[in-house]
Amino acid sequence: MCSDTAFFLYLTSFCIMSFLDSPLPDAKNSINSTQGTTPDKQLDQVMCFGTFDIFHPGHVFYLSEAEKYAKKMTIIIARDHRVSSGKWREPIHSEVERLNNVQKSFPDATVMLGNETDIFAPIREIQPDILAFGYDQRVPEDKIHELFPNIEIVRIDGYETDKWKSSLLRNQI
């Protein structure tokens, strides 16, 4: 790893730690629910998905806001081959590194790798009450509604998206 990349990753880690010490904006202003649920921990299980390759404050915000919806949170980390095929690039960090990074920041959550062949398998296995997606995640919502009509879908707004967006950060490396 070149020294510029090492410094960037160190700086990103520092920013995340600083972010975790500061208060988050009010979730009521940052949630877009398709069925009107508000974050109040009345539901049992929320499930989140992502690559989380360059783990940054935008990711922390997304997961922190999603966590407000239920008593338990499961975070599904995209498999390396899905990242390569879906985003047409190799991830910077391996799936195990990405899983460990997220688990360190959300130790009370269940963090696991996605299924190798079936993106819907974790939803079928865990049967969450709600699926929380980031503001810019490409998701087959119609298919999810068809397969899981009783599971609510919410979208979490972005956090300072002009600064904390993986594609922007990747271009700086």
pLDDT digits (tens, 9 = 90+) for 58-100: 889 999 999 999 999 999 999 988 876 655 668 888 999 999 9
Total structural domains in the chain? 1
Provide the residue range defining the domain that includes 91.
3-172
Question: Which tokens in the block code for residue 27?
Answer: 């979730």
* Burial state string for 77-109 with b = 16 or more CB within 10 A and e = fewer than 16: bbbbebbeeeeeeebbbebeebbebbeebbeeb
* Cα–Cα distance, 120 to 118 (Å, whole number): 5
Over residues 41-52, the pLDDT tens digits come to 678 999 999 999
Whole-model pTM: value is 0.74
**Domain containing residue 127: CATH number:** 3.40.50.620
Phi then psi dihedrals of residue 48, to 5 deg: -125, 160
Phi then psi dihedrals of residue 75, to 5 deg: -115, 125
